[in-house]
Amino acid sequence: MSGGVVDHQRASAIVPATLVIAWLALACEPTVLIGSCAEPSTTDAGAGGLADDDAVSMPWSTGFEDGLCGYQLAHGYCYARHGASLQIVQSPTPFAGKFAAAFTVSGDATTENRSQVRCVRQGVMPTSAYYGARYFIPALATSDGNWNLFHFLGGTSEADSHPLWDVSLANAADGQLELSVYNFLTGTLPKMADVGPIPIGRWFQLEIRIVRSPKANGEVTVLQDGAVALQLMNLITDDTHWGQWYVGNYARTLVPSLSTVYVDDITIREGP
Amino acid sequence: MKSRLASAGTGLALLLSTITAVAQSGVPVQLAWQAPANCPQAAQVRQKLRDLLGASAAEVAPSRLRAEGRIEPVRDRFRLTLNIHYDLVNGTRVVQASSCENLGGVAAVTLALLFRAEHSSSAPLTARDLGGSSSAVGAEDRSAVEAVDRARGSEDQSSGPQDRSSAAHAAAEPQAFQESERARASDPARSNPTRWRFAFRVPELRTDLGVLPAPSYGMGLAAGLRHDAWRLLASATFWLGQDYESGPFVGYGAHFGRVSGELSACRGWQFSAIELAPCLLLSLDDVSARGTGVGVSSTNPRIAWLSVGAGFQGLWSLGRSASLVLGVSGRISTSRPRFVSESVGQVAQVGPAAFGVVLGCEWVL
């Protein structure tokens, strides 16, 4: 056999061999678990969601003392998209414990997708519960009306879901920030009670009580530092079985565009 | 007029007696030879070379040397032009003598010495080896001829004291060579000369991209064997640790540690002082990763995988036993591990291909 033929055969063999190796490389993607969540600390009762994979049990809380593990252990998760970021911080001084979470978004109007960074609890939500968190807004900003702090959606899964309720920040006539609630089921913005502006540079508590009902006997109550900012009675609050609760920072247009809000002491509880 | 006729006659004789050697039986160095009829012919030169190297030299140690020798009359003297080739490296030696009788011996000795140099080290021969230092070699070779002339009782009145001194040295050269050969033959371990040579590289500085999330930098060493133009090396590299944060989760990520080994087979081609060598590579990466971030605990797990690839190395000869090595390579991973931390998901994944650069010193014993 001539050398040329041998060389040609060798060259012909190299191509399929390379393809086989490339295929193997793509097919073989072992997962190496390099970090796991330790048992929840006494401060964070993050295991509250472990009782049932489907049901979101109460009480549950996380103050980020074990980082993002409070969500992880409760089968939740955190995410950041479109220029947003999440950081576990010790400054400003957390409301409780040693850590809080900084949720930073880039509210740039030229960006097609809305910058968002949030943590999510999901499952079958309690029939009636208070969903709360401590927020720290370090500086005033001007939003286009959709600077979201809490978001509820429902459906059969995340892919098959629709929004239910938003609790957001909006600018009052004097530029101060105030709460704004949006009912996706009716497409309305209920009028809020005057509980004063959102404090800047200090922790405040935001809570919403939802009595879930697909009929007109549900309830929604929003509290700012314990003061009732909104109370709606006898309405459809949730027409789904499964749901998600988003906590964090979400914005389309903000001035200044870079916005960080700090969050601590996230809770789901049965009553006051 | 008389001298012109003599020159023409000699030229005609040269033309008629031109022999291009083809058959190289028993001679490890390919030799083409042209000489006037009254000068040593190809068969004599080859026989002399065979005598110097030993009959079995060609069988146990093939050579990459080739040469064309030509003897031609120049006035009342004779000139040997010996063009020597070693792969793509060329050199020319020119020797003049009053008699052409010994120029065949000079050619044989020269080639025998180069053959020995070729096999005394796996470092490739250089143009300087082939042609020698132009001024010194000319004098030396001329002296060699003169020394051989003297040994045969011929007179060369043009030789000065310095020439005679050099001549003594050069005349001793073939004798020393033959003694060396006799000693070699008497040593069983060396009578069957092996062409395998030990080679090692230290230090080796490496960088690559595609294995860990950021470019990696490492230092290592290699050891192996050289056989003719082939080089088989096994290397180990210790890489600097790497801290990596996974995108938007500030403070969350991983600390990577890495060691790697590589087997390479390279075939070199010599271009003057530069050797270029394509290589085939098989590498093993062993990576440990520790998840980092608040609340994350880790057992620092390890994973290893193979990659195959090819590379290209350039070696700049710094002498007979040292070279500076610069190489580039590309590899395809047979596995692409995903490094996942529970609370933030995937931190990093090994790329489908990696590209590397190596810089080092190669030493050949």
The per-residue pLDDT of chain B, averaged, comes to: 78
Break chain A into its structural domains and give their ranges. 46-269
CB contacts of A78 in chain B (<8 Å) are 249, 343-344
Handedness of CA B97, B99, B102, B104 (dihedral sign): positive
Q: What is the C-alpha to C-alpha distance for residues A163 and A152, in angstroms, rounded to an integer?
A: 6
Q: Most A CBs within 10 Å: which of B242, B243, B250, as the mutation test of the A interface?
A: B250
Tell me which residue in B251, B289, B297 faces A36 most closely, judged by beta carbons: B297
Interchain contact, A34 vs B294, CB within 8 Å: no
CA-only gyration radius of chain A, Å: 24
Higher pLDDT among residues B148 and B364, named by residue: B364
Q: Which helix (H) or strand (E) holds A20?
A: helix A3-27
CB contacts of B283 in chain A (<8 Å) are none
Whether the CB-CB separation of A6 and A14 falls below 8 Å is answered with no
**pLDDT digit string, tens, across residues A102-121:** 999 988 866 677 889 999 99
Q: What is the C-alpha to C-alpha distance for residues B204 and B218, in angstroms, rounded to an integer?
A: 8
Interchain contact, A34 vs B308, CB within 8 Å: no
**pLDDT digit string, tens, across residues A140-185:** 999 887 899 999 999 988 788 999 999 999 999 999 999 999 999 9
Domains and CATH numbers, chain B: 2-191 (no CATH), 196-364 (2.40.160.20)
- Residue B176: pLDDT band with limits 50, 70, 90: very low
Whose CA is closest to B115, among B159, B60, B162?
B60
Tell me which residue in B332, B339, B352 faces A34 most closely, judged by beta carbons: B339
Residue A78 has pLDDT above 90, yes or no: yes
Q: What mean pLDDT is predicted for residues A3-8?
A: 56
- Residue A246: pLDDT band with limits 50, 70, 90: very high
Q: What is the C-alpha to C-alpha distance for residues B127 and A10, in angstroms, rounded to an integer?
A: 34
Residue B87 has pLDDT above 90, yes or no: no
Q: What is the pLDDT of residue B85?
A: 87
Q: What is the C-alpha to C-alpha distance for residues B214 and B249, in angstroms, rounded to an integer?
A: 17
Q: What is the pLDDT of residue A34?
A: 93
Q: What is the C-alpha to C-alpha distance for residues B69 and B296, in angstroms, rounded to an integer?
A: 77
**pLDDT digit string, tens, across residues B214-251:** 999 999 999 999 988 899 999 999 999 999 987 789 98
Three-class SS of residue A207?
strand
Q: What is the pLDDT of residue B206?
A: 97
Whose CA is closest to A210, among A189, A233, A187?
A233
DSSP at A83: T
Residues contacting B226, CB < 8 A, separation 6+: B122, B196, B197, B198, B199, B232, B364
Interchain contact, A117 vs B248, CB within 8 Å: yes
Q: Which residue of A has its CA nearest to B290?
A: A34
Provide the shortest C-alpha distance from residue B223 to chain A (in Å).
27
Q: What mean pLDDT is predicted for residues B361-365?
A: 91
Farthest CA pair distance, chain A:
95
Q: Which residue of A has its CA nearest to B248?
A: A85
CA angle B205, B245, A35 (to 5 degrees): 105
- Residue B125: pLDDT band with limits 50, 70, 90: confident
A103 touches chain B (CB under 8 A): no
CB contacts of B310 in chain A (<8 Å) are none
The per-residue pLDDT of chain A, averaged, comes to: 87
Whose CA is closest to A260, among A73, A101, A81?
A101
Farthest CA pair distance, chain B:
106
Q: Tell me the two tokens of residue B300.
A: 């620092």
Q: What is the C-alpha to C-alpha distance for residues B359 and B113, in angstroms, rounded to an integer?
A: 33
Is this model's pTM higher than 0.90 or not?
no
Q: Which residue of A has its CA nearest to B246?
A: A85
Is the domain defined by A46-269 classed in CATH 2.60.120.200?
Answer: yes
Q: What is the C-alpha to C-alpha distance for residues B308 and A259, in angstroms, rounded to an integer?
A: 47
Residue B150 has pLDDT above 90, yes or no: no
Whether the CB-CB separation of B80 and B142 falls below 8 Å is answered with no
Q: Which of A40-54, A190-204, B205-219 has the lowest mean pLDDT?
A: A40-54
Question: Which value does ipTM take for this structure?
Answer: 0.77
How many interface pairs between A and B have CB atoms less than 8 angstroms apart? 130
Number of H helices, E strands in chain A: 2, 17
